[in-house]
Amino acid sequence: MMMKKQSMKKFAVAATMAVSMLAFSGIASAHVTVQPTQVQAGTYQVLAVRVPSEEKDINTVKIKVNVPAEINVSRVEPKPGWKYEVERSADDVITSITWTAEGSGLSATEFTEFRVSGKVADDATQLVWKAYQTYSDGQVVEWVGGDGADKPASVTTVTPAAEGGDAHGDSHDAASTTAAESDDSSDSKTPLILSIVAVVLGAASLLVSLTRKKR
């Protein structure tokens, strides 16, 4: 009898740890990112700056993104409820974009995307997007760290240009891919978490049932 109780206790602890790890992974992934995460050098791309709001009781009201030197952003897609302004270099190249909410902004349960288009440099190997997220209480979260940091900058890997390829060929595909990745990324974790929780609960129920029968 004592062995059965110990087994049940161990199982309950393991189940709790599994659910906690899943919950933590969802929180840890709520970073400001740029999609897609891989592009080809020398091509025109549509990229989406994905911004989740993480802080409870305060809203995200502004996001500033520094544009990497390895991409020439030429267009910014208008976003209802947000206004934007760009900063340019002496050569008239866009160096940063700031989106500011015209209303209350994003609450802790919301996210949005801001889309831009531009051409990736022929010799680019990666694009590092440093972002600054401002909340309604004035707090600024800097997404500028390296790989493994608590608040990393989003990095887009750049693959070599295809020989004889058409630089315009990926523009439409990039837009479609970005939209698809946005939907997939938002929805893909939910079924996985629900499935694992269901398996854990089902196993617990089965174990309890078997224990009662043996009694």
Residue 204 belongs to a domain: no
The per-residue pLDDT for 98 is 99
The per-residue pLDDT for 172 is 44
* Collapsed DSSP state (helix, strand, coil) of residue 146: coil
CA gap 85, 103 in Å, rounded: 16
Residue 179 belongs to a domain: no
Q: What is the CATH number of the domain that holds 39?
A: 2.60.40.2230
Residue 165 belongs to a domain: yes
The per-residue pLDDT for 163 is 78
Residue 207 belongs to a domain: no
Residue 26 belongs to a domain: no
Domain limits for position 36: 31-171
The per-residue pLDDT for 78 is 98
Residue 108 belongs to a domain: yes
Q: What share of the chain is helix, strand, coil (3-state, %, to 5)?
A: 35, 35, 30
What's the farthest any 2 CA atoms get from each other in the chain? 82
Instruction: Report how many domains make up the chain.
Output: 1
Which residues of the chain, if any, have pLDDT below 50? Answer: 10-28, 169-192
Residue 15 belongs to a domain: no
Number of Cβ atoms within 10 Å of the Cβ of 147: 7
The per-residue pLDDT for 25 is 38
From residue 189, alpha-carbon distances to 11, 161, 183, 192 in Å are: 24, 33, 11, 5
